Each structure stands twice: as C-alpha cells, then as structure tokens.
Amino acid sequence: MLNCRPPIAAGMMLLVCVFSVFNSTASAQPADVSVNFFQQSLGDGNVSYGVDIQSTGIFFGFAGNMGSVESPDGTEFTLFNRGLDGLDFQTLGNRFFGDWTVFEATSSGDAVHSFTLSSFDLDDVFNEIPTFTGPVASGESGNIGTEFNLTWEYASGATPSGQTVRAGGSGGRATFGQFGTNTVPVSVELDEGVSSATITFRAGGFEFVDGIVSDVELVSGNGSDLTANASFSTLAEPIQLTITAVPEPGSALIACLGLLVCAPGYRRRNLA
C-alpha cells in the first residue's frame, strides 16, 4: 500500500503523488533516478506529453543539502519541481533526449554524475490511452465517500505491462491498495479540521523503456554508485473527486432519536 499526500500542482510544474506497479514481464527495475515520460488525454481526442523525475535519495540529499537532476536542455528538477507537462512529443524529445546531469549531496561534499537518454518513438511503446469508468467517467467530477475504487478501460481490451495512478489536490491523504486489472482501491483520510478533500486522479498504463538509458558515470566528487532508467505512461483524461466523510451507519438515526425531530416539517401529532 502507498500512503500519499498529494500536493497542489503549481502552474505547468507538476507536484503529484505517482504510484506505479509493473508485472513480471517488465525487465527493468526501479533505479536511483527514474525519468518518467507520459502521454495524457486532454479530452476531445487531444493529448499532451510531459516528464517527471522520481529520485527520492537525490532530492532529499544529505543533512538538509538537497540534490537535483538536470535535463539536456538545462531544466533543473528538484524535490519541489519534479516535472512538467503541456508539450508535444517532438518538443519532449528535443528537450529531454540527450545527456542528463545528477547533482548529489553526500557526507563528503557534492558529487556530479551523468547519463545519456537516447530517443524513442511512440511506436516503440504502448501508447493507447484508457478512459475512466469509475467512480465517474473521464473528464467528469463527482462527490464520493472516503473509500472507493478507481477503474479504467482500453477500447482495444489491451492489458499493458504495468499500471500507474497519479493524484494531486488538497485536504486529505490518499492510500492506494493493491492493483487489480485496470483498477485500484483508494482510501482517503481527511486532514484534521476539514470536511472534504478535492483530489484530481489520473490512471493508465506504465512500462519501462529498455535499452535507451546508459550507465550512470561519476564525473566528479565522491558520489554513490547510481543507476537510472526511463519509463512511459499513458494517462486517461483526469477526474476530479470531492471526498467527504460518510457518517457511520445508524449515527444519523441516533442523532434523530436524541432530538425527537428528524426532518424539516416534522410535527408531533396528539393521538388522544
């Protein structure tokens, strides 16, 4: 299970909780630096592309000195700026295919690493975009309790090698359970003092892209032995859910009995 407090997205920079799983057919494994490319539906047949970086060890750094990851075009990714979107695929490649630099904060000072991420085409990856089927359809919003299932489907009936879910919003902590086929259970714990949370969810396919990332080389300093990988996700048009705590069964009845009045317009009738 994954506990996740999704922060609010800031402009074009994405600050989201990302939870991905993959089955045994995925040959790559999680790395110290993961470059995650994604294709997302905007509705009406339109799509955009983006990238986010997962690198907990680098971003948290050492003794409060945080590290960073720099893309070929000079974009710096940090703990607080881990991704961006709104690109077309050609721009994505122009900016992020090439030589990457990793700045690591260690107990003996800063270290610099580098690796190369080669290009790939959309035909090289699973790129069918799914649609949400629950709790609401893609592009819609709704109100729901704190326990529910996210479900989605592919028009072709395909099953990608992995699955991913992303959440961004405020007011609560989302916990994701074990994935089924194109589904995952979600539990939301509301923040203290709030009555509801508003969270946007995306979900879809996930796969590692093999053979396009070089070994990570230490350029300078006394750094760790790092690894890097790349992945690609296809994300449904998002849904936005307003999540409200549901009273325990019977609690409303008990309150009614205590007050002797359970609904507007109720009048006591004298049977005598």
Residues 82-101: tens digit of each pLDDT: 999 999 999 999 999 999 99
Highest mean pLDDT among 104-113, 145-154, 242-251: 145-154
29 within some domain = yes
**Does the pLDDT at position 253 exceed 50?**
no
- Cα 14 vs. chain centroid, distance in angstroms? 10
264 within some domain = no
141 within some domain = yes
Strand 98-106 with 109-117, pairing? antiparallel
> How many whole angstroms separate alpha carbon 13 and alpha carbon 11?
5
265 within some domain = no
pLDDT of residue 4: 56
Domain that residue 231 falls in: 2-259
Who has greater pLDDT, 74 or 29?
A: 74
> How many whole angstroms separate alpha carbon 18 and alpha carbon 29?
16
132 within some domain = yes
97 within some domain = yes
269 within some domain = no
Average pLDDT score over residue span 109-135: 96
pLDDT of residue 145: 96
pLDDT of residue 3: 52
In contact, 115 and 71? CB cutoff 8 Å: no
**Does the pLDDT at position 175 exceed 50?**
yes
Using a pLDDT cut of 90, give the percent of the chain over it: 67
Model-level pTM?
0.80
* Structural domains in the chain (count): 1
130 within some domain = yes
